Amino acid sequence: MNTIKLPPSIRPVDRAGLGDSRQITLIGGNGAGKSLFMEEMMSLCGDKAYKLSALSAFYPEREESTMPGSVDSLYRQAIRQQSYMRTDAVSELDKIVYMLFADELESLLKMKAEALAEGHRFKIKPTKLDIIQRHWERIFPGNRITRAKGRLMFSTGSGDDLISTHTLSQGEKAALYYLGAALYAMPNAVIFIDSPTLFVHPTILGNLWNSIEDLRPDCTFVYNSVDEDFVNSRTHNTCIWVKRYDSEIRSWDYDIVEPGSRSEDLLVELAGSRRPVLFIEGDMRHSIDIRLYSLVFPDMSVRPVGSCDKVIETTRSFNDQQAMHHLSSFGIVDRDRRTDQEVGYLRAKHIMVPDVAEIENIFLLPGVIRLMARRRGRDGAKILRRVEREVTHMFKRHAEEQALQHVRHKMKRDVECRIDGKFSCITALETHIKSLIVKLQPRKHYNALREQFAAMVRDNDYEGILKVFNHKPMLPDSGGHQQLGYRAKDDYIGGVLDVLKSSGKDSDTLREIIRHCLHVEKKPTEKEN
C-alpha cells in the first residue's frame, strides 16, 4: 500500500485521518485550488503517479505527456519495442486500443513458444483485452466486444450491427479508456483521476469505478470531483476538503474529512461547484488563452483542449451529452480568417468568436490600451495614435499576403463543401473538380479583399484591421508595451492580467471590454437552453 504524501498546509492538519485508504477524493468549491493540489500530490508521488482524464484522452492537447508511465510514454515505448505496433494513433484512447492488440499478440506468441519448448499443449491465459471484455460486459449487460481484422468491434446482445470504437457513445468511450488505461498503470501506482464523472452516465458510474478499483487492488485512487453522488458512491473513501490556496507561500488550507462527517458548509459549497464549462484553444501551461479567459469568465470552468477544431468538436459533443451531466458548455475560438457566415454559425452553436483575428490582438483594443495607459500615468490618446499608426503601416505592407491567406481559407472551406457528395465515377469527380476554379472564382475574391484592405488603410480603420490581421509579431512590433512603460510584450500582457486579477472598477471595465469583443451581451451561463 502506498504512503500518500500531502502538499504543505497553511495550518496543522491531522493526517492520521488519511490512514491507509485506497480511495481519496479531493472536494471543495470552485477556485479553491483542487487542480493545483492534485498536481502537487502527483509531484510528491514521483514515479508512482499515473494520471487519467477522459477529456484529455478524447481531445488531446498540443503537447504529449512526457511523464514516465503515462499512456503517451507507454505508447512511444511500445512502438520502439514492437515492430507490429501501429504508429498512427493520436488520442490516448486510440493508443490504448493499439497497445491492447499488441499486448494480446505478444502474450499469445509467448505462451505458444513456452508450450512448444516444454513439449506440451499450452493453456491460454487471459490477456488484458480478455479482462476488459469481461468487465465491459458486466458494466454494459447484453453488450459484447469482438475482435475483427485487428479492430475492436462492439455489438448488442443480438449480435447485430457491429460498430467500431469511434462509433461508441462518449460514455462508452470513457468506460473503455478508463478500463484500459488502469491496466497499464505501473505496479502500486497512485492513479489520479480528473473529473471521473465526465461523460459517464450515472447508471453505470458506480459499476465502472468499482470494476476499475477491483482490477487494480495494488493501486491507490485519488479522485478530483465535485459530484456529491460520486463521492458518496465510494464506500471506503477519505475526502480532502480543499478550501483555498495561498500562492505566496505555495500552501493550501485543507481538512481531511472522514466518511459521513461532511459539514453543511461543505455540502452547500459542493452544490454550487458544478459550473458551466468553457472550452478554449491551447494548453494548460503555455497559452495565453487559459490565463486570460479564466479571469474574464471566473464563474465558468475553463478547459483548454488544443486546436480550434477540438474546441468546436468538444463543445458540440459536451452539449449533446447535457442530459447526462446537466452542465452547459461554451467554446471560444480565434476568429482567424473566418467569414461572417462562419462566425454566425459558430455563435449559434455556443462558440464565442472575438471581433479580433487572434487572441493577442485583444491586448491592442483601444479600450484596453487607454485603461492601461491611465493606470500607468501615461497619455492614452497619444499612445493609441502611435499604436494605430504602426499597426496600420504593418497591415499595408502585408495586405496582399493577408488577402491571399483569407482567400485560401475560403477556398478550402468551399471545396470541402462542394466535393462532399456522391459521384458515379472518377471522371465525374475530375470534371467537378475542374469546374470549381470557375465556380469559386478565387481571383475575384482576392481582388475584392485587396480593395477592402486598401480602404481600411485609407480610412484608418484600426478596429477593422485588428479583426482581419493575423500577424504574430503585431503586438510586440506595435511598440505599445514600450509606450506604456513595459520592457517586453509579456510584461504588458502580465500587467493586463494583474488588473483582471484585482477587484474594483478597472477590473470590471477591462472584463467588460473583452466580453464585448466576444459578443457576450449577457453572461453565457444565462443562455436559454
User: 344-380 burial, b for 16+ CB within 10 Å, e for fewer?
Assistant: eebeeebbbbbbbbbbbbbbbbbbbbbbbbebeebeb
Domain boundary among 245, 271, 297: 271
Percent of the chain at pLDDT > 70 equals 86
Instruction: Name which of 203, 74, 100, 111 is nearest 152 in CA terms.
Output: 100
Listed residues 256, 271, 286: the one ending a domain: 271
Half-sphere CA count of 357, side-chain side, radius 13 A: 20
Closest to 151 (Cα-Cα) out of 103, 97, 107, 105: 97
Q: Please indicate, yes or no, if residue 393 is contained in any of the structural domains.
A: yes
List, in order, residues 6 or more apart from 242 with CB less than 8 Å away.
Answer: 26, 27, 28, 32, 33, 34, 37, 252, 253, 254
Half-sphere exposure for 387 (CA within 13 Å, toward CB) = 29
Q: Residue 499 above 60 pLDDT?
A: yes
Q: Kindly state whether residues 243 and 349 are assigned to the same domain.
A: no
Alpha carbon distance 492, 171 (integer Å): 43
Q: Which cell is 1 given?
A: 500500500
Residue 390 lies in a domain: yes
- Inside any domain, residue 500: yes
- Average confidence (pLDDT) over 60-84: 76
Kindly state whether residue 33 falls inside one of the protein's structural domains: yes
Is position 17 within any domain?
Answer: no
C-alpha–C-alpha distance, residues 240 and 254, integer Å: 7
**Angle in degrees, 0-180, between the axes of helices 489-501 and 366-375, rounded to the nearest 10:** 80
Q: Are residues 315 and 349 in contact, defined by beta-carbon separation less than 8 angstroms?
A: yes
Sign of the dihedral through C-alpha 96, 99, 105, 111? negative
What integer is the mean pLDDT of 174-203?
90
pLDDT exceeds 50 at position 303: yes
In this predicted structure, which of 145-154, 258-267, 339-348, 427-436 has the lowest mean pLDDT? 258-267
| Count of beta carbons in the 10 Å neighbourhood of residue 330 | 24
- For residues 175 and 210, membership in a common domain is answered with yes
The CA angle 485-491-496, to the nearest 5 degrees, is 90
Average confidence (pLDDT) over 340-358: 92
Query: Is 221 in the same domain as 353?
Result: no
Same domain, yes or no, for 352 and 474? yes
pLDDT over 60 (residue 263): no
- Same domain flag for 202 and 283: no
> Is residue 11 included in any domain, yes or no?
no
> CB under 8 Å to 286, separation ≥6 — which residues?
63
Task: Tell me what pLDDT residue 355 has.
Answer: 94
Distance CA 432, CA 420 (A): 11
Does residue 286 sit within a domain? yes
CATH of the domain at 212: 3.40.50.300
Question: What value does the mean pLDDT take over residues 337-343?
Answer: 89
Residues 73, 179 within the same domain:
yes
Q: Are residues 199 and 299 in the same domain?
A: no
The answer to whether residues 263 and 289 belong to one domain is no
Distances (CA, A) of 331 to 178, 289, 308, 349: 26, 12, 9, 9
Q: pLDDT band for position 150 (50/70/90)? A: low
Residues 264 and 283 in one domain: no
Percent of the chain topping pLDDT 90: 36
265 plus 283 within the same structural domain: no
Q: Tell which of 271, 303, 333 closes a domain.
A: 271
pLDDT at residue 88, rounded to an integer = 79
Most confident of 243-257, 272-286, 468-482: 468-482
249 and 299 assigned to the same domain: no
User: Residue for cell digits 451529452?
Assistant: 321
- Asked whether residue 419 is domain-assigned, the answer is yes
Helix/strand/coil for 487: coil
Please state the pTM of the whole predicted model: 0.58
Detail the DSSP E strand segments found in 207-317. Answer: 220-224, 237-246, 251-257, 277-280, 301-304
The verdict on 350 and 462 lying in the same domain is yes
Total count of domains within the chain: 2
Domain of residue 89 covers: 25-271
SS (HEC) of 19-69: CCCCEEEEECCCCCCHHHHHHHHHHHHHHHEEEECHHHHHCCCCCCCCCCC
